Structure 1
């Protein structure tokens, strides 16, 4: 046997041993991950097909530790704590309606992150991309699926304080026409035209007529519920001390978070529902401060996120002020209910 042959045999043996060792390490690591995951009581997540056209499904961003963390995930709406099917699409914020989705993503760069909004079709394929000028915060799709909106922090990173700036955008997903900021809309406040340099908008929620929307307007240290008109490019103040509104399926009520005097500065909100016909407020039975734009599961129930062991858990509470809040699943945020 030549020296060259001996060297080739030696190199081959070393390569085989290295491959076997690596496989053993990876296998042991995977077993340890599964064991630790099970010991932590985490939800079961497997990859699969997720669409926006399924009936009786609930989608959300899964925050369970593992390879599918942050992916849009599907479960039966009747069993939100059940086994999860992960889509492979990662989002920081997500929402969907009528076969259209919006996904807010971070794009990791060598120096800093940038952000973008993806408009998705019913199979979660990207049909359009838009730059987002700051940290993503809120996202919504109109009931018809024709419009999508997102809010980003362009200064600061929390609604709890007073030193922050937001940018709320709306896009017509049919034409691609983008309204990059609601600050371009004419404001009617207390029945009069209003202009101020400190105006901020966030938390858009759409009516089903493809024209009307509601949002938060902040100025001079106060927040307002505004009704917007996409065709007229106007917003009109309706009620004071409203943040992150969410319109009910029948368009008659708005659920929102309200700053309550006496609560801690870093957890200042309580959930309320406002009747848009009478302007009567109803406090809800959730005793904790909720920093989220709640979702209407149906006409009677609201769903929202609160901090949890994995980052966030989902809870529900009756929309009429009765009952009590209860956790429906762990390690999840940005819930969506499909028809």
Structure 2
């Protein structure tokens, strides 16, 4: 009986030693470097689980000991991450453990997408459709259908998307970027409207958005935005028409080919501020924060006119005579 007990004790020790050695070997295979010699892009497909990703990585030759990863699901199920759709950068020297941690993280490869200030919604949609690796969910839809998907069915889209650089990863869609930009514009517009001046000729955040779009399209010079806002404010106070060329261009739509004529200035469109009184019915572009802030804080003064110098800045005048002289100097001579 004693011999049997000793034998069992020896077997237990041997089994424990074998289990320990086996466990250490399993650990060593998970800690071994994956088989990539340079940074390698790997995509987790939509709906892929851990076992599917392991099989795919093995087929690509990235990992060798598939059994070690399969065993992980039994021995350490809490270590199995929920994979996120997207692309990941596999780096030389990464261990299997590192790989597992990476695929369960938010460190997906991202790409920049810049929406410039002053662009129209039509330009933004075309830019989104051309963005590489960005899924298109709005291609072929009307603007009204796009706004319905964004849960803003009663809203005209122009101006409602904040111009900025956004980042996206594979698996995201154009609708994701549109939603981000829309919510950002709503938030910024609310913030700017809260800090508005008391003496304004505009009565609502939406009118501020319209005014900001006119300012955005008139100048790219930061130091001029508030002065142009002041000119527009004084024109509205005195009953003058705004007479701003960008509204004529917007009203022409796709007919615009780089220049406007006298006939275009006289054409009655809802946006032609040479013909209509006050502001156009909607924004004509996507304004940035600086133009929004200028719209609600115009610069006081007496100027009523401005003309482009041809270098991105403008000459401002108080009287029509001074303005006509500036036009002769900067436009007709040119």
TM-score range, shorter chain: under 0.3
TM-score, normalised by the number of residues in structure 2:
0.23
Structure of higher RCO (CA pairs closer than 8 Å, 6+ residues apart): 2
Rg larger in structure: 2
